[in-house]
Amino acid sequence: MAIRQLVQYKNSQILTTLKSMSIKILILCTGNSCRSQMAEGFLKSIDSRLKVYSAGTEPSEKVHPMAIEVMKEIGIDISGNAPKSVNRFLNETFDYVITVCDEANETCPVFTGNVKYRLHIGFEDPAKATGTPQQIKNEFVRIRDEIVTAFQEFYNDNIKSNRN
């Protein structure tokens, strides 16, 4: 009986450790000013244990103001974020690297660092939207909502289910 209790205790310790481990995620696109920033902000908002970063192969000078605005509308503040180069992360290990570019219209970046799982969840680039200010904002809202839906599904299928 004592051995069984010891094994159960050790198994519960291992399970507790696995549940508390942080998962490291890198979200990649080209400019790191819209899609990857919104995805980073969303994932951080739903699970503080995640270590989420975003980067680009050709980082912009700043996060797109409309990306900041539409994320703020759903209670997520990305105004303190800044675009970063993927080169900064090449010597790090990630559980997931997720590209968010629109494969039909762009060349997706490739991460050459150490990663367990590579995924692609593509979205059109809202920064390329044209039209009236309201039409452009509507495009940012549409892409934000697609990102929220897709990354909630990613989280539920790949992370949350493994922590329960």
Q: Catalytic pick from 25, 26, 29, 52?
A: 29
pTM reported for the whole predicted model? 0.84
Instruction: Look up 29 and say whether it is catalytic.
Output: yes
Instruction: Look up 101 and say whether it is catalytic.
Output: yes
Residue 5 lies inside a defined structural domain of this protein:
no
The one-digit pLDDT tens for each residue of the chain (164 residues) are: 555 554 454 445 444 444 556 899 999 998 999 999 999 999 999 999 999 999 998 999 999 999 999 999 999 999 999 999 999 998 899 999 999 988 644 556 677 778 999 999 999 999 999 999 999 999 999 999 999 999 999 999 999 877 65
Q: Residue 7: its pLDDT value, please?
A: 47
d(CA 30, CA 107): 8
The phi and psi torsions of 129 (rounded to 5 degrees) equal -65, 145
d(CA 48, CA 45): 7
Instruction: Look up 108 and say whether it is catalytic.
Output: yes
Q: Catalytic pick from 25, 27, 78, 101?
A: 101
Q: Residue 164: its pLDDT value, please?
A: 56
CATH number at residue 71: 3.40.50.2300
Residue 8 lies inside a defined structural domain of this protein:
no
Question: Structural domain tally of the chain?
Answer: 1
Domain range holding 60?
22-163
